Amino acid sequence: MKSTYVYAVGNQSYQFESLADVMAKASATKSGDNLAGIAAKSDEERVAAQLLLANIPLKRFIDEPLIPPESDSVSQLLLEEHNNEAFQMVENDTVGDLRNRLLSYEMASDDLAKLADGLLPEMVAAVSKLMRNQDLILVASICNVVTKFRNSLGLSGRLSTRLQPNHPSDDERGIGASMLDGLMYGSGDAVIGINPATDNVQSLIRLLGHIDELIQRFAIPTQSCVLSHITNQIEAINKGAPVDIVFQSIAGTEAANESFGVNLDLLAEARQAALSLNRGTVGDHVMYFETGQGSCLSANTHHGIDQQTLEARAYGVAKKFKPLLVNTVVGFIGPEYLFDGKQIIRAGLEDHFCGKLLGLPMGCDVCYTNHAEADQDDMDVLLTLLGVAGCNYIMGVPGADDIMLNYQSTSFHDAHYLRQVLNKRPAPEFEAWLQKMGIMDAENRLLPVTVKHPLLLELTS
């Protein structure tokens, strides 16, 4: 029998068409859900949906899949991967019960790690809709997700950075200059990752060779990535290029992934190709995924599901492939999906929480575009909150200004700010390298350098 969804507030009765409708209307305000025409029509309706959602048993998400597995391979994957044994801990909970349970003193890191396999992304999204920002931060701060390739990322008390030395025409010297700038500021332990301006396979191979040479020459305990389409990276591997980890943007529906030119088989193929090179030294997490609320709607493939739930489903996809890094590029998509600083901050915290609760190594591109109602002050708020929440890594872009992708992210300086106020350190292997190279001292402070520094001699010659 089909469930009915009604909630009365005084004399006003709110009716919802389906579980998906309850989820959409219970979501925090997002311009993207308004654009999709699925958001609550009033604040009271939003809270009515949340009150109703709080009483819905978690089991309902198994019995009434938001998108039927027969019509979507992502739904099929999520249900297949759902671990019933791990689910037992919460199988009689409602969504509201789960919130209380997650916040209780009894919930330790180990319990959260075990629970990760027993929760469907939709359950995680649901509970996040009942949480205020501090709840999202508190629970995420207790989740520990550690991944490894040439270093160990996500350890407690650590904050890593992706060094992002983009250049608008992929000029090698321009990229090299930004790369050096970042390394001299202690950035790059999560990955040195370039977004190429063109998707030419030859130039992809050349850029990969360029970073690899630097990593080898100075024995830098980190990994490289050129964020081209996954099919290009597979082609590069086949041509013998030094690929450390493989990147791809992914989303929460089969059709959205199709619009990115990927499917689950292709992701599996890429992972196998990267594993076959056996380039990791301390671990074999070889995948790097980027996501962001709104991508399904942007590709017109949202099935009437709210953007935050779809984002959590993308994490379910990521999880299958044991990634080294997952990055929610939260403010990149623009004001039609996340209108202003308030929405971007909320989305960043939701994404980090959902990813961590599902057991993923979450990083966040704390960012905004020039057509959004946001500025550096908003980014400082999100950055600080994510630091407190235990975010694995953030981006490192020279002066916070990405001159290729035309948006503002976090700077090398920003990472130091966060490390100073929260006493966080880079990944241990990378921290040791920075000290050995005379870039940072044991107090986590930048050291003065001269033109004779070996990295400067190498890259300026």
Partner 1 sequence: MKTQLTKQMKKVVSVDPWLALKEFTTARIALGRAGSSIRTEDWLAFKLDHAKARDAVHSELDEAVLESCLTGLNSQIIHVQSQINSKSDYLKRPDLGRFLNTDSIARLNNIQHGADLVIISEGLSAMAVQSHASHVVSALLPMLKSSNWSLAPIIVAKYGRVAIEDDIGARLHAKMAIILIGERPGLRSSDSLGAYLVFGPKTSNTDANRNCISNIRESGLSYEKAAETIYYLLNEAKSRQLSGVQIKDNRTLVELGIG
Residues of span 406-445 touching partner 1 by CB under 8 A:
406-408, 411, 413, 416-417, 420, 445
353 vs 407, beta carbon nearer partner 1 = 407
* Least distance to partner 1, CB of residue 134, Å: 27
The three-class DSSP label of residue 363 is strand
Write the CA distances from 100 to 49, 54, 135, 161, 352, integer angstroms: 18, 11, 10, 33, 19
* Least distance to partner 1, CB of residue 225, Å: 18
Of positions 18, 76, 133, 376, contacts partner 1 by CB under 8 A: 376
Of positions 27, 147, 178, 328, contacts partner 1 by CB under 8 A: 178
When asked if residue 367 is in the footprint of partner 1 (CB under 8 A), the reply is: no
Of positions 24, 140, 400, 427, contacts partner 1 by CB under 8 A: 400
The three-class DSSP label of residue 7 is strand
361 vs 426, beta carbon nearer partner 1 = 426
When asked if residue 60 is in the footprint of partner 1 (CB under 8 A), the reply is: no
10 vs 37, beta carbon nearer partner 1 = 37
Of positions 76, 100, 200, 384, contacts partner 1 by CB under 8 A: 200
94 vs 293, beta carbon nearer partner 1 = 293
Give the interface segment with partner 1, choosing from 84-92, 95-103, 138-146, 167-175 (CB under 8 A): 167-175
What is the rounded CA–CA span in Å between residue 253 and residue 301? 7
What is the rounded CA–CA span in Å between residue 130 and residue 100? 10
* Least distance to partner 1, CB of residue 301, Å: 8
Task: Give the DSSP H/E element, type plus range, for residue 289.
Answer: strand 287-291
Backbone angles phi, psi at 373, to 5 degrees: -85, 75
When asked if residue 454 is in the footprint of partner 1 (CB under 8 A), the reply is: no
| Cβ neighbours of 448 (radius 10 Å) | 5
What is the rounded CA–CA span in Å between residue 52 and residue 30? 20
Structure token digits, residue 270 = 């890429």
CA 175, chain centre distance (Å):
24
CA 147, chain centre distance (Å):
14
- Is residue 137 packed enough to be buried (19+ CB in 10 Å), middle (13-18) or exposed (0-12)? buried
When asked if residue 272 is in the footprint of partner 1 (CB under 8 A), the reply is: no
403 vs 422, beta carbon nearer partner 1 = 403
Name which of residues 294 to 353 contact partner 1 (CB under 8 A).
298-301, 334-336, 339
206 vs 320, beta carbon nearer partner 1 = 206
288 vs 407, beta carbon nearer partner 1 = 407
What is the rounded CA–CA span in Å between residue 323 and residue 288? 6
When asked if residue 86 is in the footprint of partner 1 (CB under 8 A), the reply is: no
Of positions 13, 156, 198, 238, contacts partner 1 by CB under 8 A: 198
157 vs 261, beta carbon nearer partner 1 = 261
Name which of residues 229 to 268 contact partner 1 (CB under 8 A).
229, 231-232, 235, 258-261
Of positions 304, 399, 428, 438, contacts partner 1 by CB under 8 A: 399
Write the CA distances from 381 to 95, 367, 375, 391, integer angstroms: 28, 11, 10, 14
76 vs 231, beta carbon nearer partner 1 = 231
Query: 379-417 b/e with 16+ CB inside 10 Å = b?
Result: bebbbbbbbbbbbbbbbbbbebebebbebbbbbbebbbe
